[in-house]
Structure formats: C-alpha cells, structure tokens
Structure 1
Amino acid sequence: MRGPAMATTRPGPQRLVGTVLACAAVLTLFVATVERLTDGFEHWTFEALRRQQAASGQLRWPAMAVIDAMGRPLQWPAGGPVRIVDFIYTNCESVCQSLGAEFFQAQQLIRREAPGVRLMSVSIDPARDTPPALAGYAARHRAQAPLWTVAAPRSVDDGLRVRRALGVIAVPDGLGGFVHNGALHVVDRQGHVAGIFDTADWPSAVALAARLDAGRP
C-alpha cells in the first residue's frame, strides 16, 4: 500500500525571475572586469597588456634611488641617457645567467653602433645584493661601466614600489630565489618605457634604444 504522495515544491515565477536577474548581474560584472583587465579583450595575458601599455606610451618608470656596484647612490631616471633595463638577483643560477649573457652581447653591439645608449641591471633582492655582490655579478658577466650599470634599490620597499608600477612580478620560490619577469625594458630620456622585449630579442631592444637615442621614433 502506497503512502501519501510527496509534494514537490517549485519556485514561483517571481523567485525564478529574481534568480535569473542576479545571475545576469554577476555575469555582467564578470565580463566588465575581464574587459578592463584585458584592454577590451585584446590582451588575454598580463604580460601582453603590459607590453601594449609600453607601446602606447602609458608605462612610465618611477623615480628610483639605487646604489651601484661601487657603493655610489644614484637617482634614476633623471633626464639621463636612453637605457635598456632588466631585473636580476645576483645569486640566481637560471634566468639571470641568461639575462647576463644577453646583456653582454647587447653591450658589445651598443659599443659599436649606439654608444649613447646605456644598460642597467636592477636587483630584485636589495637585502642581499650589497655592492660587493653587485660587483661580483658585474665581473662574471663582464659589465663595463659606465656603459652597463649594475645596481640595487636603496630599500626593499622602494624596489617593490617600482616593480608594482611597472607590472614586474617577483615571487619567492621557497629556495632562496625568485621567479620573475625576464624582460628587457627600453626607457627613454623622459622615463617612459617605450618597449618591452624578451631576452632573446635583445637586438630589437637595442635597435629601438638606438632610434630613441638618435631622436627617431
């Protein structure tokens, strides 16, 4: 013998409409956020957006106080030469070694064809990258001052501020090192980041820097 039938409760029309409207609002917010973060859906990675901002003149290098491998304080940028800048840390055994090798090749090309351009390697680990450590990195990669400056921010906070403004990511890897962007930044005399290039594309970075140094776009 069957028991009494179980009643089935269904949402009323008003409740159903409310749920649909709430879902639509969430979806609209999501789409608007993605559109803003991807620059109108044109750039689906953060690095692509960062490079597009540089190409369109929207990325500027903030004022930065650094100490070079000689222990000298410097303020940069301050109306100085066109520079190609990378981020390193001196005890890195992977990406930074590649960056050093690429920069050495760029140094040789700049010496021959664009002597007004300068190179700069900025540490993401100023707590450990003291002037002796910076000098050791410069010696390993045959950096020749004043063409190539190896330096560290005056403080950890100052370095973090600059990297945030540029969209440069440096995450501790849990082994005493960092995972970070390996890009080359071409910075004009006014401090605008005119282009961002992969390390292997250093000839393009040098070509852009040479054009800027000669007053050509």
Structure 2
Amino acid sequence: MHFYRSGLRAVAPLRCALLAALLVAACARHTPQNWQLTDIDGHLPDLRFALVADNGQAMNQDALRGKVVMVFFGYTHCPDICPTTLAKLSAVLKTVGPAANDARIAFISVDPARDDPASMHAYVDAFDAAHAIGLSGTSDDVEQLARRYRVAYAAERRDAAGQYEVTHSGAVYLFDRAGHARLIASVDAAPEKIAHDLRLLLATSS
C-alpha cells in the first residue's frame, strides 16, 4: 500500500504492520475463485458504518445491503490519487455493463473539517452520479471507521493561507452483497483486474 500527499506517489513508507501482515497472509491463501486482486476474506470485519450521505441524510450499511460495494477513503481537495481512483472505478463499472447496477462506490472522507455533504455530493457526482456515494462524518466517526479497516491518514501542516493536504492510504476495499470484506485493490491495480473480480462478486448471491 502507498501513502499520498502533494501530488507525489509513495511519499511515506508503509507504517501499518497489521495491514502488511494481513496482505501477506491473504496472498498465501487458496483462492478457488481465481481472484486477480488480493483476497482478504476472513481478515477484515464486515461493512459497518454510521455516517452522513452526500444528500445530507444519515446512512448506514443497511442501505447498501445486496450491493457489491467498493470503498475508498479520500477527500475532495485531494490533488491526485482520489480523482484518479474514482475515475478508474467509474470506468470499471462502465466496462462491467448492466450488472454494475448492483454495485456502488462508497467514497469516505478523511477530511471531515472541509468535506460537508454538499461538497461531497458535487465531487462524487462529477465522476459517477449513478453509482458513487459520498460519505462524511465527525472526526471521531472517521477515525473509528478508518481504524476498523486499517486505513492510515494524517492532515499535513497548514500553509499560510490555511490550506492543507491529507496523507492517506490508497487501497480500494471490495465488499460482497452480504457486506463481507472480500478483496483489496491496490492503488496500482489495473482496471481489467478490478472488473474481472467485480464481475465474480456480482455473479454471487451472497
């Protein structure tokens, strides 16, 4: 996994030993489904959150039950990895075709101070109004959720104008229709690999 800030890739070494161990263990597991992404089945908890959607309404995991969900943590002022990843995921859904109606992109803000529902709505709609949902919450909400899924992030020092960037990990988490964590796509994962595994998840009933 890489960390990002200021338009530069891999700006910090991997600092989450637990996630590193998780990925090593997952890679060694038998994968009869022929996954092309990293299998994390049984290594991370089910999808569970209580946040505010980009329509201003409270939302939790029940609203996504029955959908395959691709979760990505980022923020609207992100200069590089966030727009690149959201564009890639949107392109993947277009590749998948009509089956993508049962898939969602959940973009969770790691910058709650600036990312209110209105800004999240405008941001995700610019990439995929049909499938993307912007989710935000309090600092405590985001911190607890990030810890639940081993997501690392940290706000950088503010500049003279009061602006700042947020260093954050860039993996995409894929949850099946029952809300089980199944796969991780690294930031460099090819769209074809994501589409391949997304089709497999969409073809299952749970």
Same fold, TM-score > 0.5, yes or no: yes
From 52, 55, 64, the equivalent of 1:70 is: 55
The match for 1:36 is none
Residue pair 1:60, 1:191 contacting (<8 A) in 2 also: no
Give the number of the structure with larger relative contact order, counting CA–CA contacts within 8 Å between residues 6 or more apart.
Answer: 2
From 122, 125, 128, the equivalent of 1:139 is: 125
Residue pair 1:66, 1:76 contacting (<8 A) in 2 also: no
From 165, 170, 173, the equivalent of 1:177 is: 165
Identity %: 23
Gaps of 5+ in 1: 1-43
Amino acid aligned to 2:200: R
SS in 2 for 1:115: helix
TM-score by length of 1: 0.69
Cα deviation, 1:17-38, whole Å, max 9, x if unaligned, reads xxxxxxxxxxxxxxxxxxxxxx
Note the 1:32-111 alignment, pairs <5 A. Answer: 46-51=18-23, 52=25, 55-76=40-61, 79-111=65-97
Structure 1 distance, partners of 2:18, 2:80, is 23
Residue pair 1:110, 1:117 contacting (<8 A) in 2 also: no
Pairs aligned (count)? 171
Residue pair 1:84, 1:206 contacting (<8 A) in 2 also: no
Amino acid aligned to 2:153: A
From 102, 113, 122, the equivalent of 2:108 is: 122
The match for 2:7 is none
Larger radius of gyration: 1
TM-score by length of 2: 0.72
State which drifts further: 155-164 or 46-55.
46-55
Residue pair 1:186, 1:205 contacting (<8 A) in 2 also: no
Decide which structure has greater helix share: 1
SS in 2 for 1:199: coil
SS in 1 for 2:60: strand
Task: Assess, with a 3 A threshold, how the Cα gap between structure 1 residues 70 and 111 changes in structure 2: closer, same or farther.
Answer: farther
The match for 1:203 is 192
The match for 1:190 is 178
The match for 1:163 is 146
Task: Assess, with a 3 A threshold, how the Cα gap between structure 1 residues 215 and 100 changes in structure 2: closer, same or farther.
Answer: closer
